[in-house]
Structure 1
């Protein structure tokens, strides 16, 4: 249903753009334009009023379709949030208070495998044995 309404909204927008571009740019829609004789349907004044009425109808239809699409989208995503994709869901206690998850991800889980530090190599240049190291002799 959302896709159909989205296509209708797109068609309304394109049609509204076309109708607005067809109108005269002299301000005739506001009653400030001059020229043009009688008030016949095919005169410039009749065409301007028909285009302005069509603009109003398309504008109201665009607004209605936008509101309908917003309402439908909100109903479909009411039980999910963008933050659910990022952080794990919080646990609710019996008292109604929320508490943060008790387990935190390991730092090596967050890094790609090529960037993860090697765990087999020692972190320092210290020897692998537990024997004490003699200080260097000063001669």
Structure 2
């Protein structure tokens, strides 16, 4: 993850926290902070309401803009792959159980034994092969 991406994530978290604070300080009727003071200026009820409304608008715009930028930055690095594609490719690259794959005549089923089902999932194929080669006495009773 790049340092710019991390920086923008931190900025977005700060913007979100500030937006939550500004929204919670507003009165539901639009009274703002309700702090008394001179009839004109920031400390009047009307001035506080205007300030809080503007602050909410600016913070919300910053939050949405940062969200779009972060989504674009995250999608550039993935180049069209999904999380499922990434996990499947990692699973396919790692051998299961650390055992080397069988080659040659030992890989072919014995005569009269059913062939193991073909599967794209290497873990399911290994489990099916292990179940097929297990003796009947060790099979769990139902």
Query: Counterpart of 1:19?
Result: 22
Is 2:122 aligned against 1:119? no
The CA RMSD measured in Å over matched residues stands at 3.2
Q: TM-score, with normalisation over the residues of structure 2?
A: 0.56
Q: Aligned partners of 1:106 and 1:46: how far apart in 2?
A: 66
In the alignment, the residues of structure 2 paired with residue 117 and residue 59 of structure 1 have an alpha-carbon distance, to the nearest angstrom, of 58
User: What TM-score results when the alignment is normalised by the length of structure 1?
Assistant: 0.58
Counterpart position of 1:43: 44
Task: Give CA deviations for 1:109-130 in whole Å, capped at 9, x if unaligned.
Answer: 257xxxx42725258xxxxxxx
Q: How does 1:45-84 map to 2 (within 5 A)?
A: 45-84=46-85
| Aligned CA distance change for structure 1 residues 4 and 16 (closer, same or farther; 3 Å) | same
The size of the alignment, in residue pairs, is: 101
2:112 maps to 1:109: no
Distance (Å, rounded) in 1 between the aligned partners of 2:16 and 2:64: 10
Distance 1:39 1:106, change over 3 A: closer
Tell me, yes or no, if structure 1 residue 6 matches structure 2 residue 9. yes
Q: Secondary structure at the match of 2:131?
A: coil
Q: Any unmatched runs of 5+ in structure 2? A: 93-117, 138-142
Q: Which has the higher contact order (CA 8 A, sep 6+)?
A: 1
Greater per-residue helix proportion? 2
